[in-house]
Amino acid sequence: MKKHSHRSWVEVDYKAITINTRTMKALLSDATVMMTVVKSNAYGHGIVASAKAALAGGASWLAVDEITEALALRKEGIRAPILVLGYTLPELYAIAAAKKISLMISSLESLQDLSKMKLAKPLHIHLKFETGLHRQGIMPSHVQQVIRLISSQGFPATIEGVYTHFAIIEDPMARDYSVMQRDALKEIVKKLNAKGFAPIVHASSSAGILFSKDFHFDMARTGIATYGIWPSHEIHRWAKETTLVPALSWKTIVSEVKMVEKGSKVGYDLTHTLSRNSRLAIIPVGYWHGMPRSLSNKGHVLVGGKKAPIVGRVSMDITIIDVTDIPSVRIGSEVVIIGAQGKEVLSAEEMAEMAGTINYELVTRINPLLPRLAV
């Protein structure tokens, strides 16, 4: 039996990230630049190694959620352009300018505050406009006010980019809504162009790249697909000729095995009653590690090359599985939570469906303290 030095760990095939980046880049026209999104610890895959793998695959830009992520990349010697997609506190603008980190500005108020600042170095910003998602974004009705501000003498920033975010690009059947958003962005850009601004324009996420070149603009942002995970079932069916390689596996070990009599109740709140004499195994992983509590009594893992059902409540640090039909299981046996074992595969999509969530949430919530091992 293979010995492990960790109780639970994540294995990442960074070569797969490079391959997926090349695959996504091949879908773009030569004039469209690729930005790879490595926010949220690269969707759980490890931000620094994932960023390097994406750049090796042809990405020109990187995107993060907050400036601390961008600074971590700079500290590791990554010099590629980086855009912070989330809100940045104004007191950090000077640091961003000094480290050549581009920032998103998504409200007229933030732009007004920026216009009053004095910075030693010019800040590069990307203006985010609201076109239909109704989340972050400057309202289209404020475009003329934006133009007056950014045209004012002494404005301390360069308008490097303009962008939006699609609301339902993951569903090709909702194309009309995405077209409406695309055209709204085009109208905004047209007004900026008329005043002499020529920013990089971007809108597409992974789904938009996989859907159609009609949405690619000057730059496209590939996120979840970089890691070999599909944005939606609909896009997977739409882009069936495209192959993505899953990069992540999540594993643990069996820490205890015991025989328990028929009729015994299992776990907190006694939510499972054994229908037969059963052999139960303990795995030292729970919702603190990222195992969804909603998998209680309905999820499964892989052990001994077979599916083992989760029984009872998923606890903070412990999950119980039924291995009655897998006699080879012992203390130290390797357990796969996401990934392949023998002929069986448990994908992030399948696990997310069992948990009643989406693959994005599942992989990003794997505890960042778990080691990420390159394979």
Mean pLDDT, rounded, of the chain: 97
- Helix ranges (H only) for 99-245 are 108-115, 143-151, 175-194, 206-211, 233-238
Q: In angstroms, how far is the first alpha carbon of the chain from the final one?
A: 19
Exposure class string for 230-268: b at 16+ Cβ within 10 A, else e: bbbebbbebbeebebebbbbbbbbbbeeeebeeeeebbe
* Residue % of the chain over a pLDDT of 90: 98
Q: Which two tokens stand for residue 76?
A: 């590791």
* Residue % of the chain over a pLDDT of 70: 100
pLDDT digits (tens, 9 = 90+) for 206-233: 999 999 999 999 999 999 999 999 999 9
pLDDT digits (tens, 9 = 90+) for 56-79: 999 999 999 999 999 999 999 999
In this structure, are strands 256-260 and 82-84 parallel, antiparallel, or unpaired?
A: unpaired
Name the active-site residue from 75, 186, 258, 268.
Answer: 268
Annotated active-site residue 258? The verdict is no
Range with the lowest mean pLDDT among 118-122, 177-181, 223-227?
A: 118-122
The DSSP secondary-structure symbol of 122 reads P
Model confidence at 1, pLDDT cuts 50, 70, 90, reads low
**What is the distance between the alpha carbons of residues 130 and 167, in angstroms, rounded to a whole number?**
10
**What is the distance between the alpha carbons of residues 249 and 237, in angstroms, rounded to a whole number?**
23
Model confidence at 239, pLDDT cuts 50, 70, 90, reads very high
Checking if the pLDDT of 131 tops 90, the result is yes
Checking if the pLDDT of 3 tops 80, the result is no
* β-pair partners for 281: 257, 321
Model confidence at 268, pLDDT cuts 50, 70, 90, reads very high
Model confidence at 2, pLDDT cuts 50, 70, 90, reads confident
Which DSSP string do the residues of 166-206 spell out, in sequence order? -SSTT-GGGHHHHHHHHHHHHHHHHHHHHTT---EEE---H
pLDDT digits (tens, 9 = 90+) for 14-38: 999 999 999 999 999 999 999 999 9
Annotated active-site residue 39? The verdict is yes
Name the active-site residue from 25, 39, 128, 251.
Answer: 39
